[in-house]
């Protein structure tokens, strides 16, 4: 009898732990968590074959609320840990989560390299345009001119568009969601989890404490769906929907198929093991020695 025939059908409650989320009432991260439960259910992902990795921040508490293997790591370090898990256990479903400060400030270099390597993980970034856990400082995605705890006279820096960055540095799947649109968020999470390669989902996730109720209302009013004729295989077409301010376009902005990091490593291994070694250990050591 096959494993599929013996396993019960998973329900959203099967992915929940006994921990109660400690997010502020009205936080957009609740929608992301509920969306993830439903996406895992739709795909019938086995909890014991899934790892959720995070950094530090309000949103990075999420692994504790999902009944899979999980790691709440260091600030900005979710992606290198996710890479280690995926390289060591390619059979596992690996999901990295975190906030915009965690992923784009201290973790920005890891974001760049995970995307360009086409690491086969799904990265869900909860974007509230602020540092929430550390009391409301300006983050990389905070709009220019915004007054925050660290920019009393207005943010002097231009904001980073996470989707523009992901598309530019090599992510093979890039989507944008709004946590207030649960149906749309679930649909995009399912597509991200199905993608083979680096799938980046930027979820606009309002912070009621430091951004106020108006952020949710503003995002809801600005939200627009991608046009049906959008060419997701075109980098140029995808970039049109980045750096938006008056509207927020949600959907799959970019989607292409390319070899993943593990695919390329497998090719290297085959080539390395084919035939006799081109160099001895002594030759390799000698190549590092000065010639003078």
Task: Tell whether 252 is covered by a domain.
Answer: yes
Mean pLDDT of 171-193: 98
* CATH code, domain carrying 97: 3.40.50.970
Q: Print the domain residue range for 203.
A: 8-257
pLDDT bracket for residue 95 (50, 70, 90): very high
- What average pLDDT does the structure give for the chain? 93
Task: Quick: pLDDT tens for 21-49.
Answer: 999 999 999 999 999 999 999 999 999 99
| Ranges 6-10, 89-93, 224-228: which has the least confidence | 6-10
Q: Is the pLDDT of residue 2 over 60?
A: no
What φ, ψ does residue 196 adopt, rounded to 5°? -95, 110
pLDDT at 263: 94
Q: pLDDT band at 288, cuts 50/70/90?
A: confident
Q: Is 3 a domain residue?
A: no
> In a 10 Å sphere around its CB, with 0-12 CB exposed, 13-18 middle and 19+ buried, how is residue 142 labelled?
buried
Give the pLDDT confidence score for residue 5 in this predicted structure: 59
Q: Binning pLDDT at 50, 70 and 90, where does residue 1 land?
A: very low
pLDDT > 50? residue 156 = yes
DSSP string, 133-159: TTTSB--TTSPTT---SS-TT---SPP
> Is residue 279 situated within a structural domain?
no
54: three-class secondary structure by DSSP = strand
Residue 267 is assigned to a structural domain of this protein: no
Within a domain: 94? yes
Cα–Cα distance measured from residue 126 to residue 90, given in angstroms and rounded to the nearest whole number: 25
Asked if residue 285 is part of any domain, the answer here is: no
CA distance 252 to 257: 14
Structural domain tally of the chain? 1
% the chain with pLDDT above 70: 96
pLDDT value of residue 3: 58
pLDDT tens profile 96-131: 999 999 999 999 999 999 999 999 999 999 999 989
User: pLDDT digits over 230-286, tens only?
Assistant: 999 999 999 999 999 899 999 999 999 999 999 999 988 887 777 666 667 788 888
Q: Please state the rounded mean pLDDT for residues 193-218.
A: 93
Please give the Cα distance from 86 to 95 (Å, whole number): 10
């Amino acid at each position: 009898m096959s494993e599929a025939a013996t396993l019960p059908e998973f329900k959203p409650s099967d992915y929940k732990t006994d921990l109660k989320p400690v997010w502020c009432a009205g936080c957009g991260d609740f929608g992301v968590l509920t969306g993830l439960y439903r996406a895992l259910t739709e795909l019938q992902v086995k909890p014991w074959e899934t790892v959720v990795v995070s950094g530090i921040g309000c949103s990075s508490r999420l692994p504790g609320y999902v009944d899979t293997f999980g790691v709440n790591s260091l600030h900005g370090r979710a992606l290198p840990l996710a890479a280690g898990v995926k390289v060591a256990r390619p059979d596992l479903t690996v999901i990295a989560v975190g906030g915009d400060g965690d992923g784009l400030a201290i973790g920005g270099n890891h974001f760049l390299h995970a995307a360009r390597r086409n690491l086969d993980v799904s990265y869900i970034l909860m974007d509230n345009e602020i540092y929430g856990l550390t009391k409301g400082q300006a983050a990389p995605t905070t709009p220019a001119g915004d007054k925050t705890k660290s920019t009393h006279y207005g943010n002097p820096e231009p904001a980073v568009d996470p989707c523009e960055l992901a598309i530019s540095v090599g992510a093979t799947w890039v989507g944008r969601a709004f946590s207030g649109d649960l149906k749309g968020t679930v649909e995009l999470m399912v597509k991200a989890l199905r993608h083979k390669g680096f799938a980046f989902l930027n979820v606009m996730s309002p912070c009621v404490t430091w951004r106020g109720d108006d952020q949710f209302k503003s995002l809801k009013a600005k939200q627009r769906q991608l046009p049906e004729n959008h060419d997701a295989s075109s980098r140029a077409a995808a970039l049109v929907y980045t750096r938006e301010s008056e509207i927020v376009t949600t959907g799959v902005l970019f989607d292409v198929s390319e070899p993943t990091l593990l695919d390329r490593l497998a090719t290297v291994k085959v080539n390395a093991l084919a035939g006799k070694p081109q160099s001895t250990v002594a030759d390799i050591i000698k190549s590092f020695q000065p010639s003078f």
